[in-house]
């Protein structure tokens, strides 16, 4: 006879908030669940951790499978473990958030992830499980990260204009920033350098192109 125990035997999943900026808005990738629970409901891309995986290698697999990207900014967010967050029983979600330029994302629609699309974080539908809370938590973490890290590099192409850089920040903080102050403060951080080239095409006059000195996560020496 099995002796009752007060200890849980939870299942562990990984859910990834994949952020990008498109049409001036911060967006997150959501999918339509193919099976119960919440079959047909929108949700974050994710899945159970497979044998031999860590949570980070599972997150990297999800990024590659669902968004077609790798080597982008990826950070563990939080472990969501409310007892009733999943109707199947105790299922803990180790969550991550990732940042990727929209042009590099290749969304793959499969039987497991139906109708993937990007949704503005300011107008999310009702998501399965506690995924609305997860995205809200991730947005706050991302906004905080802009103040003391170079995380914005992962939302931009290798070369970009200062206007494009400012639009990334404005999309994330959800407000307009003063152009002169933004450029002055950002240049003082020493994160970017001119490429020696200028933008081409379009109706506007060519603008100087910049690049991040390092496209790896790093802490700032002073707050932005």
Q: Where are the domains of the chain?
A: 11-147, 151-212
Pick the CATH number of 151-212 from 1.10.3720.10, 3.30.1510.10, 1.10.10.10, 1.10.1740.10: 1.10.10.10
Query: Is the separation of the CB atoms in 11 and 91 below 8 Å?
Result: yes
pLDDT at 3: 58
Q: What is the pLDDT of residues 104-139, one digit of tens each?
A: 998 877 666 578 899 999 999 999 999 999 999 999
**pTM here?**
0.93
pLDDT computed for residue 34 by the predictor: 85
Position 8 pLDDT exceeds 80: no
Cis-peptide, bond into residue 204, ω within 30° of zero: no
Answer yes or no: is pLDDT of 222 > 90. no
Tokens at residue 14, please? 């990984």
- Vertex 136 angle, CA 134 and 71, to 5°: 70
Helices (H), the chain: 55-67, 131-148, 162-173, 179-188
User: pLDDT band for position 9 (50/70/90)?
Assistant: confident
Identify which of 134, 137, 139, 131 has the alpha carbon closest to the alpha carbon of residue 42: 131
Q: Apex CA 35: angle with CA 29 and CA 41, to 5°?
A: 45
Nearest to 185 by CA among 162, 203, 215: 162
Q: What is the pLDDT averaged over residues 3-12? A: 77
In the predicted model, is pLDDT for residue 140 greater than 70?
A: yes
User: Of 2.60.40.10, 1.10.510.10, 3.40.50.261, 3.90.79.10, which CATH number belongs to 11-147?
Assistant: 3.90.79.10
Quick check: helix, strand or coil at residue 184? helix
Tokens read off for 185: 């403060």
Dist CA 116 CA 103 (whole Å)? 16
11-147 and 151-212 agree in CATH topology: no
Asked if 161 and 199 touch (Cβ cutoff 8 Å), the reply is yes
Residue 143 has pLDDT above 70, yes or no: yes
Distance CA 50, CA 99 (A): 24
pLDDT at 129: 97
pLDDT in tens, 16-44: 999 999 999 999 999 999 889 999 999 99
Q: Which residue is associated with the tokens 């900026």?
A: 21
**Paired tokens of 96:** 């991550």
């Amino acid at each position: 006879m099995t002796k009752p125990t007060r200890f849980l035997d939870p299942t562990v999943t990984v859910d990834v908030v994949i952020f990008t900026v498109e049409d001036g808005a911060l967006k997150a990738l959501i999918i339509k669940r193919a099976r119960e629970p919440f079959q047909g409901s929108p949700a974050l891309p994710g899945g159970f951790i497979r044998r031999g995986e860590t949570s980070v290698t599972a997150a990297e697999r999800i990024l590659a499978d669902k968004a077609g990207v790798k080597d982008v900014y990826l950070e563990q967010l939080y472990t969501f473990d409310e007892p009733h967050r999943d109707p199947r029983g105790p299922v803990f979600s180790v969550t991550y958030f990732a940042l990727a330029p929209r042009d590099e994302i290749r969304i793959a629609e499969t039987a497991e992830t139906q109708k993937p699309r990007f949704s503005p974080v300011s107008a999310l539908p009702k998501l399965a499980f506690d995924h609305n809370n997860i995205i809200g938590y991730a947005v706050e973490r991302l906004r905080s990260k802009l103040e003391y890290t170079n995380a914005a590099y992962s939302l931009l192409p290798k070369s970009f204009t200062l206007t494009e850089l400012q639009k990334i920040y404005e999309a994330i903080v959800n407000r307009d920033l003063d152009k002169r102050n933004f450029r002055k403060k950002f240049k003082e951080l020493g994160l970017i350098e001119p490429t020696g080239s200028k933008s081409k095409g379009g109706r506007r006059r060519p603008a100087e192109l910049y690049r991040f000195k390092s496209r790896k996560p790093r802490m700032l020496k002073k707050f932005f």
